[in-house]
Amino acid sequence: MSRVSPAVRSLLRQPCLSQWAKTPAMCSTPAWMMPSHQSVRRLATPAAMPSASKENIGVYCNPAHDLWVKESGPSVEEVKSGQALKEGEVTIAIKSTGICGSDIHFWRNGRIGPMIVEHDHILGHESAGEVIAVHPSVNTLQVGDRVAVEPSQICNKCEPCLTGRYNGCLEMRFMSTPPVDGLLRRYVNHSAIWCHKIGDMSYEDGAMLEPLSVSLAGMARANISLGDPVLICGAGPIGLMTLLCCAAAGAEPIVITDIDQGRLDMAKKMCSRVKTYKVQPGVSMEDAGAQISELAGGPLATALECSGVESSIAAAIYSVKFGGKVFVIGVGKPDMQFPFMRLSTQEIDLQFQYRYANTWPRAIRLVQNGVINMKDLVTHRFSLENAVQAFETTAESAKTGAIKVLIQSEV
């Protein structure tokens, strides 16, 4: 006993501890002295059994550009037993998932830059759901919590992680980016630290926090301020989400461009004071820039480019003033040409964005308090079993009028 501290020796003399096996309810046993297997048993008791009844299925694509729904992991048996949970993880019953443009790229093109689909691959990274199982090591979440899933898995060791810019993690595992499977499943195990509580927020709004995070990251890095004249290129889901953010931030005037009149009409519905510009085929980037500037009442301070289209980026460069900024949020082809001398002689800053960091708590506050209302963005809803039709509707948005398509699941 010479190596046992007096405090521990005193505890060991207490009758409560010596009689623990006989009368556990009467003991006040310190948590650190409880046998570790008791915590595991709590997961397996009937009262804590996850409410999972349907088999897990996921939405897959492959290098041949096929798209299908089939069984996925974790299995319903693993979900019920909790055996597949790792330290720090929870199981989420995914209730709502948005289809992102990157999902369409991975399906139809098989890649985005260096990120290539090489095997059967599960898509989806805009999700919210209910916690239905918790590993004993997790004390921040409990069964029944409604959460939005931030799809990042980082190393917490590299310089970007340690300086708070974890979207640049050198060992990032981002769900739905090959080779990491995505969230378009009925059940998913995920690190608790990346599951954000959403309270009574709808699961649809919870799923939309991911694209909102993209826009918030762009707004912050582009330094949009009250009264700034802003151009938004592209009235797709990210462009329209960025419009909501610019309007809430007090940018004025705001101009938004697109080739689709229906999307421009949606922009006007969402923000009555926005000025819309329909991109016409055959118009040069110089002329488009001049027309956009005239519509705004003069050259703009900042352009937020949300389409990733080369000609749109060029038009944005011609629309901003001397010393202005073109901030590219959209994703495009690997190589592009820009009007270099326009950038140079006008001292225009050209910046780019890659995902987001530290945006989810802010996004949740904005939605919960009614500052941002995303409901008009959702145009179509499908069940998980009909996910292929959901993807086809998204891919053919010019015909279907789709803006944001959500896939919903029951457990």
The pTM score is 0.86
227 by DSSP, 3-state: which? Answer: coil
pLDDT at 386: 98
If you search the block for the tokens 């991975």, which residue do you land on?
106
Closest to 74 measured CA to CA, from 195, 191, 185, 173:
185
Beta carbons of 278 and 256 less than 8 angstroms apart: no
CA distance 260 to 371: 27
- Two tokens at 77? 């048996």
Distances in Å between the Cα of 82 and the Cα atoms of 95, 133, 141, 318, 409 are 19, 7, 15, 57, 21
Angle at 58 between CA 55 and CA 59, to 5 degrees: 150
Give dist(CA 226, CA 270) in Å, integer.
19
Write down the pLDDT at residue 70: 97
Amino acid found at 401: G
What is the C-alpha to C-alpha distance for residues 69 and 387, in angstroms, rounded to an integer? 7
**What pLDDT score was predicted for residue 1?**
38
What confidence score (pLDDT) does residue 52 get? 78
Quote the pLDDT of residue 411.
Answer: 66
Helical pair 203-222 and 360-368, crossing angle rounded to 10 deg: 120
| Ranges of the chain with pLDDT below 50 | 1-49
Three-state SS at 265: helix
Position 53 scores a pLDDT of 83
